[in-house]
Amino acid sequence: MKSRFDSASTTPRLDPGRLQAVLVVMTVAIAIVSLMVGQAGIHPYEILRILLSKLFPVERTWSQTIEAVIFDVRIPRLLAGLLVGAGLSVAGAAFQGLFRNPLVSPHILGVSAGAGFGAAIAILFFGNIILVQIFSFIFGLAAVFCTYALSRVYRTTPVLMLVLSGIIVGALFTASTSLLKYIADPVNQMPSIVFWLMGSLNNVSNGDLLVVGPLILAGIAILLSIRWRINLLTMGEEDARALGVNTELMRALIILSATVISASAVCITGIIGWIGLVIPHIGRLLVGPDNRLLLPVAALVGASYLVTVDTLARSIAETEIPIGILTAMVGAPIFAYLLRKNRPGW
């Protein structure tokens, strides 16, 4: 049986192995620049010596403040940017393949709306950042569970019902978040809720990465391991079943993995949009629609992109710009360009 991946596009593609090597080098270079750039500029040689001092006896020529900036601020932000960027991009690519729709993002099933509602509750009633993250994660998962439960029809889960249920659940949680903002204290609580909803890596700590990092990595690993089955799902349910794929189980596994990635990312960074929507398109432009190649490339491009945007967010102005603003300002024109340049579809 011939699939759409046998003759996906006449557009020339780059060699996948060479492209991935270039993207890895680019990601490392961007990571080094991210450690250097900020309100306090640090020379790369000094950064290297500070990092090596944890493993080898290196003469100390730097201040304790500079070391704290590296290990307590910039490295956690860098690792969070890499994980969240890669995770959201892989989740977005997997969802676009699952729903056979290039306009789908990881937030289509209401995870971001639910997480935003949970964070708003915690800010309004508790004001503790740890509880904000916990409530955000729990309500993000709960929103997707409600979506999945609502979409069940006669023991099956049609794709259209999933999307419509996600819109319903997302609208409900968004309205509930707006109600909480309406009754919140306009001096202290309201700005905190709004800033959190705009997304930022500012509050990420090493402890957050120890808890959330394994969840995101596990979700990415699962999606990468089944990426060839996502190819079969994009051919349609009937064709996939004919090839021996348990479509219900595979759909549930993809949704669960992508939801854990999205909820984990949102609980430490707030809502960062456009990455899961735009980055898969860039990856598809580079290597085509084959998810075996697309998902790894999307992970590398997404990681580099989010770290770059975060570096700009904390460097181009005296006060940090919410990262969700920049991802939208950069992502929307890129997406518009891709829509105009390429034919509709895959």
pLDDT tens digits in sequence order for the chain, 346 residues long? 444 554 444 444 678 889 999 999 999 999 999 998 877 778 888 888 888 888 888 777 778 888 888 998 899 999 999 999 999 999 999 999 988 888 888 889 999 999 999 999 999 998 888 999 999 999 999 999 999 888 887 666 677 888 889 999 999 999 999 999 999 988 889 989 998 999 999 889 999 999 999 999 999 999 999 998 898 888 877 777 887 778 888 988 999 999 999 999 999 999 998 899 999 999 988 998 899 999 999 999 999 999 999 999 988 877 888 898 898 888 888 878 877 776 555 5
Distance CA 278, CA 332 (A): 8
131 and 192 in contact (C-beta within 8 Å)?
Answer: no
Phi, psi dihedrals of residue 335, rounded to the nearest 5°: -65, -40
Question: Hey, what amino acid is at 286?
Answer: L
Domain CATH for 308: 1.10.3470.10
Length of the chain counted residue by residue: 346
Distance CA 244, CA 241 (A): 5
Residue 281 in domain: yes
Distance CA 79, CA 227 (A): 24
Give 253: exposed, middle or buried? Use CB within 10 Å, 0-12, 13-18, 19+: middle
CA atoms within 13 A on the CB side of 318: 0
Q: Pick the closest to residue 250 from 226, 268, 270, 269 (CA basis).
A: 226
Residue 193 in domain: yes
Residues near 287 by beta carbon (within 8 Å), at least 6 away in sequence? 13, 14, 16, 19, 293, 294, 297
Measure Cα distances from 112 to 84, 156, 177, 249, 316 in Å: 14, 25, 11, 24, 27
Question: What residues form DSSP beta bridges with 153?
Answer: 156
pLDDT of residue 9: 45
Residue 214 in domain: yes
Question: What residues form DSSP beta bridges with 156?
Answer: 153
276 and 106 in contact (C-beta within 8 Å)?
Answer: yes
SS3 category, 294? helix
pLDDT of residue 11: 47
Residue 64 in domain: no
Handedness of CA 113, 168, 240, 252 (dihedral sign): positive
Can you read off the two tokens belonging to residue 40? 């306090």
Residue 234 in domain: yes
Question: Hey, what amino acid is at 210?
Answer: L
Residue 48 in domain: no
Measure Cα distances from 207 to 83, 96, 210 in Å: 15, 32, 5
Q: Structural domain of residue 300, as residue ranges?
A: 77-341
79 and 213 in contact (C-beta within 8 Å)?
Answer: yes
Q: Pick the closest to residue 129 from 42, 198, 203 (CA basis).
A: 203
Can you read off the two tokens belonging to residue 252? 């549930």
Residue 69 in domain: no
pLDDT of residue 342: 61
SS3 category, 25? helix
How many domains are there within the chain?
1
Residue 130 in domain: yes
Distance CA 144, CA 109 (A): 6
Distance CA 22, CA 8 (A): 23
